[in-house]
Structure 1
C-alpha cells in the first residue's frame, strides 16, 4: 500500500519493487528497479542467500529489508542482513522510515548511510576484521565456496583463501562448522 501510494505521489518511485516472494519477481523487474523492498518477516537463511546473489547481480539497486526483532537472534543472519540491506526497518516504524528512505534514494547525489546491527558491529571490532574480511564473511557464512566467492567479488582464489584462513584464525576455528558454533555462542 505504501509503495502504491508513493508511486502515485512521486513518479520517480515507479522503479521501486516491493517483494513478498522472490520467485515471483522477474529478472527484468530486478534490472529496472531503483530499490527493492523486501518484507523479511521470518528467519530464512535461504532467502538471505538468494538476496545476496541478487544484490551482487544488481548492485545499483538499493535493498530495503523490513524486519522483525526475531530476525536478529542469529549472528549469521545479522551478518547477511547487514551485507544485503542498504536500509533495515523494524516493521513497527516501517511506514515512516520507508517513506524517508525512498525520498533519500531519489536524491541521486546523496550518500547512503548504512547502520549495522550492534552485535555484528561489536563482533567485527572485537575480532579486528579487516575491510576485506568483513566483505568476505557474509559469503563464507552463507556457505559459498572459494570459487563462487571469486566470481561474485572478482578476486583471485588465493586472495579468498588467504582471508578465509585469517577469519578462521581470528575466530579460533578451523572450518565453517566451527564458525557457525562460534556465532551461536556469541549471542
Structure 2
C-alpha cells in the first residue's frame, strides 16, 4: 500500500497515470490512498503502508515534523518527497527534509527516478538519498557532530523539548540534555535561538 499526500488534483491525476503506466505489475502498490494532510491517514494504517509519497512544493515545517514523528514510530517506512531544489535553500528545512525523506526528488525530473525507486522498494533494495545545501554542508563539516548528535539535531531544530525527544528516540532526558549542550557548544551558541541564527544567517 502507498499513501500519497497531496491537495493538488493534477498531482493526483499524474500519479494515477504513472501507476497505470509504470508500476501496475508491482503488487506491493496495488492499493493507493490519497490524503490531503498526513494527519488524515490513521496511524493504524502505517503497518500496511510500504511508502508515503508527499507532494512537497511549498515550505511546510509542520508537515516535515509530522513525517519525522511517523518515521520515528516506523523506521522501515519509506518516505518519498516530490519537491524542488528551492526547498533546500533554507538550512533548517534542508536538515528536516534529509531526516524524514528516504528520497527527495526534483519534480522536474521525477517520473523516471520514482519508477526506479518504487521498483527497488518492491524488490527491497532501496538506498536513502541525501541533498545538502552549501551552507549546511559547511556548517556540518565544521561542527564535527557525533552520530548521536546528528540524529538529535533535526528534533532540536524542529522545536522539540528534551522530554519529547527522549520519547521519540528512547533515550533518557539526561542523555538528550547532555547531547543538546554538546551541540550548542559545537555551534558556539547558548540556546535554540542562537542555533536558528547560525543556520539562517550562514551563506
Q: Deviations over 1:146-166 (max 9, x none)?
A: 011011001111111111011
Aligned to 1:114, which of 129, 132, 137? 129
Matched positions, count:
186
Please list every run of 5 or more consecutive structure 1 residues that lacks an aligned counterpart in the other structure.
none
Q: 1:18 to 1:186 in 2, by over 3 A?
A: farther
Question: What RMSD, in angstroms, separates the aligned Cα atoms of the two structures?
Answer: 1.9
Secondary structure at the residue paired with 1:88? strand
Determine helix, strand or coil for the equivalent of 1:9: coil
The 3 A distance-change label for structure 1 pair 16 and 81 is: farther
Contact 2:157 2:192 survives alignment (8 Å): yes
TM-score by length of 2: 0.84
> In 1, distance between residues paired with 2:39 and 2:60?
14
Does the 8 Å contact 2:23/2:115 carry over to 1? no
In the other structure, the counterpart of 2:9 is none
**How far 1:74 sits from its partner (Å)?**
1.0
Q: Which runs of 5+ in 2 are unaligned?
A: 1-13
CA deviations 1:40-94 (Å, max 9, x no partner) are 1101111111111111122221000111122112110000000000011010011
In structure 2, C-alpha distance between the alignment counterparts of 1:27 and 1:65, rounded to whole Å: 19
Whole-angstrom distance in 1 between the partners of 2:145 and 2:88 = 21
Question: TM-score, normalising length from structure 1?
Answer: 0.90
